[in-house]
Structure 1
């Protein structure tokens, strides 16, 4: 195969694009090209669906296909090629007419502004597909959301002008807002409304399993299958918010959280005496020192690893935990800032239940500002910005956070304001929905627009779920967003100008300069 081209994530080479034999994420050239072929097949399926009859199975394949191409999800050519073949079979089933796959080179070699707008749409629906997939696992689907995937994929394969693509970019944000609400409803109806919880970072002695990713359904199944077996379960990275859900935290063997954000896994998992189950991204290329203990499920796949199929029988993971035995003694661990516990569970249900208290604190001057500091974490040195920003934020400000970017500061003791914790972890990346709900409720309470609130969004981005969240914020008209650590390589100068002029989207600089500007 020819050299790869990929610029969908923040760590892309030279902030322009990964080319050559492999990407910065570890994805090899042939894998990247197979993922392009899969995406082209999805566009072909969307073309067939325009005059055919897609079913729930078609919707599932669309979600699975888009989710598979998110950064750090699938590194295994065989599973990607099998999924592409399944897409072709579904295309033939729903429509007997012959429809060709789209050649992704047509997109990558297009006019840079068209390429930029189509990339915003494509990467946005990839992120949205992850949310739709998790909701589907809990039996929740939405016809409007499903139909938009076809609309967006079809548009990517068409020769459209800039003025035709711009509305579709914002519609991606609009539909993602509905998709996040769908997932929020799915999670809360299945597991209850999250409640605040302090989570230990100490690993107790004995057999244990570390669960990474975002899929709460997989975690629940594992908790059921390990019940009364003497095996403890620990969350990792984006799975931390599971500790806030009543129907999950009731399992006494859901003990705590292991490690920090995803990008530290290669040294945190080094020689770990336990298996690790990846339910979604972010999987990094697996090192030999723990390769025999890593298991994948759902859309996650990596060569030579044991994959748990749709039957969700986690027996191989359980047996490996017993074989490994765990630590001989309780093993204290810490966060990035040496804290020994972290908190979670401050989703919109909890925060809005004390809305009157929050509003009174604002009116009395005890709370001066709200900062939503969240998003994806990554390995770039510039991400220490977020730690320093939170440390330097005024003592009378509240920090809302979501997604794995919180690991930069979530073990800090920031204290409270009249009993309201200064650090409120809303949950996973999809729980940015909670941040939006809280902002809209505050705007309603103060009878003003969201942009008139003492609220600033300071976001870090890494992969495609952060893209669709950003598009949702733009759709809602939210302005003055600070974005870092770099601006997306796929956003052309002209498209960036549109975002700056209409939404005052601002690249981060230094915590000192940005705080001075925000609070002026």
Structure 2
């Protein structure tokens, strides 16, 4: 195997087993599914040109691509099913356009057993990419990983009924473009920026899906301690799964806790109205092995972020696209097995007080006090805004983000989102004229809110975003972060600091292009970066 799609990758690429825990066979099956989905995209493009739009193919495309994102699915049997579905859909669609001729992944037939599929997957993995130009290969891989992030957001939105055929069409066009053998460097760069643009549309759809269903997030205090009683812990990102579970546990004496990126769910009016949404347990995804093992109830894993659950395999359940061999997979609409497991477990014997944190500062909440914020800037009370956010991870160097926030001057405001916040989410930073210095915008899925806040502030000050007293200090781990970074570049945002390490799939020439064009720079030390930014 060879995989370097995440920040945690070992020595430039995992070659025996993924640092994430995926095996050689899982990695190969993911590569085969991705290759076949690119072939399905080629057929979908041709069918669309012939006036045929297949909603089932469109939705499957994003689900298949999302399933190959880091820490989503580790179950080989599930990948075999997806591969079989992909080929069946492809051939059914091809039959509707008999005059069209295809080759490559649009014609490949998967082997009849897992061993054969694994062999095929290795033939079409990253290390067997036929592209001889390393810079072109780097840009195509960046595009591929960005599309994995876009697919994740599109799938989240579709779960709540928000879809866009034009978005699906562009995803398929860009997936097919990664197979092209005659793209120039300029065309590859433009394809990456187009990925960023369509990601903005995907995040806009998701934002609309979340807010139209659950209301706009409101500043909300969230309890960090436990309440005595039976318990279920929900991790991942999916709001609908949480809502369904809350409804199905009403009156059963079970308290529901969020974990990781589910923390911002407490800010949504239609979710926080449930009294048994008891609080938040634990921190970021990479700490789950310890935190889940100590949790005295059932655990529901939605979307991505799962790690090897062998020490609590009987207590964890997966849903949606998430999979782990041996973990019970449940449908999104019936969480009876999860509930029954929680009722059979001890739960928390007594309540604990571990303080609280604030969440719910999405765009509506922030812009509702925009006048106060703008006045504070004009009066010199707020000197600078820092967006310190992104993915958290286990690799050394991420204490930088904790130190950066701790050392940021008292006349600065910290905006944060995604699980990177767990490096400092419980810090008591005080306020500036009633405005909290630490504002949690939400999940990584809520990056759209952060963009809208920046654009609104630029409009209020009659300047460009790059002229605002705003600096982006970002951490990355997986492919949603790649999609968000491409979106920021597509918006022309410069001077981003990125860490804790730069992507292994970025070649020196591509990095130089990013530095020269957008002034992207790796993080150094908190003291040096604060001095450079604030002067």
TM bin, normalised by shorter chain, reads: over 0.9
CA–CA distance in structure 2, aligned partners of residues 46 and 368 of structure 1? 48
Q: Distance in 2 between matches of 1:54 and 1:38?
A: 22
- TM-aligned CA distance change 1:509 to 1:19, over 3 Å: same
Contact 2:28 2:125 in 1 (8 A): no
Q: Which residue is equivalent to 1:262?
A: 285
Residue 320 of structure 1: aligned partner: 341
Matches within 5 A, 1:229-378: 229-288=252-311, 290-310=312-332, 312-333=333-354, 340-378=355-393
Contact residue 211 and residue 278 of structure 1 kept, 8 A: yes
Per mean C-alpha deviation after superposition, the further-off stretch among 148-157 and 100-109 is 100-109
SS at match of 2:225: coil
Tell me if structure 1 keeps the 8 A contact 2:2–2:125. Answer: no
Shift of 1:478: 0.4
Query: The residue matched to 2:397 in structure 1 has which SS?
Result: helix
TM alignment of 1:27-66, pairs within 5 A: 27-52=22-47, 53-66=52-65
Unmatched 5+ stretches in structure 2: 107-123
Two-structure CA RMSD over aligned residues (Å): 1.2
CA distance, structure 1, for counterparts of residue 340 and residue 331 of structure 2:
16
- Per the alignment, residue 336 of structure 1 pairs with none
Q: Is the 8 A contact 1:266 1:287 kept in 2?
A: no
Equivalent in the alignment of 1:487: 502
CA drift of 1:332 comes to: 4.1
Distance 1:219 1:108 in 2: 44
CA contact (8 A) 1:48 1:99 kept: no
Distance in 2 (CA, whole Å) between partners of 1:142 and 1:273 is: 41
**Do the aligned partners of 1:47 and 1:99 also contact (CA within 8 Å) in 2?**
no
Separation (CA, whole Å) in 2 of partners of 1:272 and 1:433: 33
Question: Could you tell me how far apart the structure 1 residues matched to 2:94 and 2:170 are?
Answer: 19
Residues 1:507 and 2:518 aligned together = no
What secondary structure, in the 3-state scheme, does the structure 1 residue paired with 2:334 have? coil
Partner SS state of residue 18, structure 1: coil
- Per-residue deviation, 1:100: 3.5
Q: In structure 1, what is the equivalent of residue 104 of structure 2? A: 100
Structure 1 residue 94 displacement after superposition? 1.0
Aligned twin of 2:19: 24
* Mapping of residues 100-499 of structure 1, within 5 Å: 100-101=104-105, 103-105=124-126, 106-107=128-129, 110-159=132-181, 160-288=183-311, 290-310=312-332, 312-333=333-354, 340-499=355-514
Pairs aligned (count) = 507
Q: Post-superposition shift, 1:164?
A: 1.6
Q: In the alignment, what sits opposite 1:337?
A: none
TM-score by length of 1: 0.96
Q: Distance in 1 between matches of 2:371 and 2:217?
A: 19
- Deviation, structure 1 residue 309: 2.4
Q: Is the 8 A contact 2:45 2:169 kept in 1?
A: no
Q: Tell me the alpha carbon deviations over residues 130-158 of structure 1, each in whole angstroms, 9 at most, x when there is no partner.
A: 11111101100012211111111110111
Residues 208 and 275, structure 1, Cα contact 8 Å, conserved in 2? yes
Output the CA distance in 2 between the equivalents of 1:71 and 1:252. Answer: 34
* Contact 1:208–1:234 (8 Å) recurs in 2: yes
Output one character per residue of 1:446-489: Cα deviation in whole Å (capped at 9) or x when no partner.
11111111000000000000000000000000000000000001
The DSSP-based 3-state class of the residue aligned with 1:38 is helix
Q: Any conservation in 2 of the 1:211–1:236 contact (CA below 8 Å)?
A: yes
Once residues 346 and 352 of structure 2 are traced to their aligned partners in structure 1, the CA distance between those partners, rounded to angstroms, is 14
Structure-2 separation of matches of 1:188 and 1:413: 28
Q: Deviations over 1:248-301 (max 9, x none)?
A: 00000001001000000001112421111001110011132x111000000000
CA offsets 1:430-453 (integer angstroms, 9 cap, x no match): 211111111111111111111111
- Please give the per-residue CA displacement for 1:383-439, whole angstroms capped at 9, x wherever unaligned: 000000000001000000000000000100000000000000000002111111111
Residues of 1 paired with 2:132 and 2:145: CA distance? 16
The one-character-per-residue Cα deviations of 1:67-122 (angstroms, maximum 9, x if unpaired) are 10010001010001110110101101111255532734543764211111111111
The residue aligned with 2:76 is: 77
- Matches of 1:217 and 1:395 in 2, distance apart? 38
Deviation digits for residues 203-240 of structure 1, max 9, x if unmatched? Answer: 11111100000010111111110111111100000011
Alpha-carbon distance in structure 2 between the residues aligned to 1:392 and 1:79: 46
- CA distance in 2 between counterparts of 1:146 and 1:280 reads 20
For 1:34 and 1:450, how far apart are their aligned partners in 2? 42
Deviations 1:291-317 (A, max 9, x none): 11000000000001110125x210000
Q: Deviations over 1:343-367 (max 9, x none)?
A: 1100000000110000000000000
